[in-house]
Chain A
């Protein structure tokens, strides 16, 4: 039972354009959502998070949007840069257990 889903395994975007990575979840007990970026041979790096009481959080080129009614969140990267090429994981925190549940990741490739 996949509680956090990233339905697009890969995404290819031109440098300077917007990258939009999507994530859907099923558990209403998730109260916090995080995005991690992972380069090969490295551990995931925390990128940005959002509390379930908010619908938007922005940090520089990265913005996360949360639509609770649709149980959907997205990460926007504007403008995309070649250094953003990595695997992006969406994660959700279960309010009851504090566990982080991860999606399967989306591989973003930003080309010149």
Chain B
């Protein structure tokens, strides 16, 4: 399956954070989502074969990396209070997202 680490994290405003995701074996596409309280997941960006392949309405301080070993990272610089949310990664085979598998998420709290 898809696993994310850590499960919970508390950071101070202005700090930087790295969230990690291990995709389902064989999946070449990973997408990251931000889910604020009471909202549905919002698309941040997608990586396909280690290249960014589409981005949502998030500022450049949100960046990512995808590695050849089925792992990926979401980096957020200059954290703001509004960045507090559940961050989800989803892996799929191909970019079509017709059946993306999600991890359990990382709950980030910015204080």
Bound Cα distance from A99 to B41, whole angstroms: 11
Asked whether any CB of chain B lies closer than 8 Å to the CB of A32, the reply is: yes
Q: How many residues belonging to A are interface residues under a CB distance threshold of 8 Å? A: 24
B43 touches A100 (CB 8 A): yes
A42 touches B104 (CB 8 A): yes
Bound Cα distance from A36 to B88, whole angstroms: 13
Residues of chain A with a CB closer than 8 A to B102's CB: 36, 43-46
Chain B nearest CB, measured from A93 CB (Å): 6
Measured CB to CB, the nearest residue on chain B to A96 is B54
Contact partner of B41 (CB less than 8 A), chosen from A41, A45, A89, is A89
B-side binding surface: helix, strand, loop or mixed? loop
A-side binding surface: helix, strand, loop or mixed? strand
A43 touches B105 (CB 8 A): yes
**A-contact 0/1 string along B1-15, CB 8 Å cutoff:** 010100000000000
Give residues in A with beta carbon < 8 Å to B: 4, 6, 32, 34, 36, 41-46, 49, 89, 91, 93, 97-105
A sample of 10 inter-chain contacts (CB < 8 A) reads A4-B40, A6-B40, A43-B90, A46-B100, A46-B102, A89-B41, A98-B97, A100-B97, A104-B38, A104-B39
